[in-house]
Each structure stands twice: as structure tokens, then as C-alpha cells.
Amino acid sequence: MDTLANTRSIVGALLPVEELSSAALLSGLEAHKEKPLIFSYDGRDVRPSYHVTEVKTGSFRALDCGANPESWSETFIQLWDIEEENRGHMPAGKFLAIIRKVDEAVGFDPQARLTFEVSDGVRPMQIYRAERMDAGDAAIRVHLSARPSSCKPRDRWLQDQQSCCAPKAKQPCCG
């Protein structure tokens, strides 16, 4: 079997997944301000009494495993998934008001990478990305999926291999 085809079959599913951007999330919520906002992760919905406990924004510079410089902006939204009496899911409009306060106080880049940190206050925080958003009649649901670590040089190499016209990379990773 062709080595390239074999490599694709083994790691093809590991290519980066499309994610909702901060801008896409906010514009999607704007049309549904009165609806309850439900985040789903690990096959279940957040409890109705969840809190947005922190919103962090930052610009990062790093060196990847292939010694390539990287830079990006990222927003972290921390969800505290707890149980409290007599509370319903937060309306999308309240979430948008929280983001407006963040923008006024520290700035909010709508093009930034969006990461969710979720914990129930007992287990360690887990890191998720916003995969998609569904607006139903009763609620708006944001589906979160785990954000795995990744080798950026390998990801770029795999993307080049899937392109019909891309130059061939010499090696897939960490050279």
C-alpha cells in the first residue's frame, strides 16, 4: 500500500476540526437573546445553574515542536457547571452582556481562538472548543468538544498533503 495513503488513513481523522470563532458564536447568539443558552459537553448539557466565572483574553507567542514561531489571540471562557436551586439556564442575552463587559474592561477580539474551560468545582478543569451551535425553538445549544493537543508542523504537513496543488513537505513533524 502507498505510504502516503496509509498515513492519511491512520491520521486523517486527526486533522484540526473546524471550530466556531468568537465572532460566529456572538453573531449566532445575537438573534436569540431571549432563549436559554445551553452548553453541551461530554454527552450531556451543563446544569441549569451554571455560571460564567471568568473570561480571559490574551495574545500568545510560542515556539512549536518544529522550532517554528507561532502567535495567536485566544479567549478563554470558564464555565462552572454546578447545581443550585431555582435557577434556569442563562439567557443568551445575559451571556452577550458578560462579553460586552469584558470588551469594555479588557478588550475582546472577535477573531480570537475560542476556548472553554469547564469544571464542576470538584473535578479539574477540562478544555473544550466550540464545535457548532444549534438554535431550536426552546433554546440555543453550543456543542463543545475536547480540545486535544496537536503537533502544528504535522497538521500543516497533513493539510498540504490533502491539497492537490500544495508543495510537498519534506517531513511531517518535529524535525
Mean pLDDT estimate for the chain: 86
The answer to which of 116-125, 127-136, 163-172 has the lowest mean pLDDT is 163-172
Distance, in Å, from the CA atom of 33 to the CA atom of 60, rounded to the nearest integer, reads 32
As given in the structure block, the three cell numbers for residue 47 are: 446544569
Among candidate residues 49, 18, 32, 48, the one with its CA nearest the CA of residue 129: 18
Whether residue 123 lies inside any domain: the answer is yes
Q: What share of the chain is helix, strand, coil (3-state, %, to 5)?
A: 25, 35, 40
Q: First CA to last CA across the chain, in angstroms?
A: 25
For the chain, the domain total comes to: 1
Q: How many C-beta neighbours within 10 Å does residue 102 have?
A: 18
pLDDT of residue 159: 82
Q: What is the pLDDT, as a whole number, of residue 12?
A: 44
Return all residues near 14 (Cβ < 8 A) that are at least 6 apart: 150, 158
Share of the chain above pLDDT 70, in %: 83
Give the residue numbers spanning the domain of 139.
21-148
DSSP 75: E
According to the model, what pLDDT value does residue 173 have?
65
In a domain? residue 8? no
The mean pLDDT value for 69-80 works out to 96
Q: Flag whether pLDDT at 3 surpasses 50.
A: no
Please say if the pLDDT value at position 15 is more than 70.
no
What are 94-103's pLDDT values in tens digits?
999 999 999 9
User: How much is the pLDDT for 7?
Assistant: 42
Nearest to 9 by CA among 152, 161, 168, 146: 161
pLDDT-above-90 percentage for the chain: 68
Residue 126 lies in a domain: yes
Higher pLDDT, 164 or 76: 76
Residue 5 lies in a domain: no
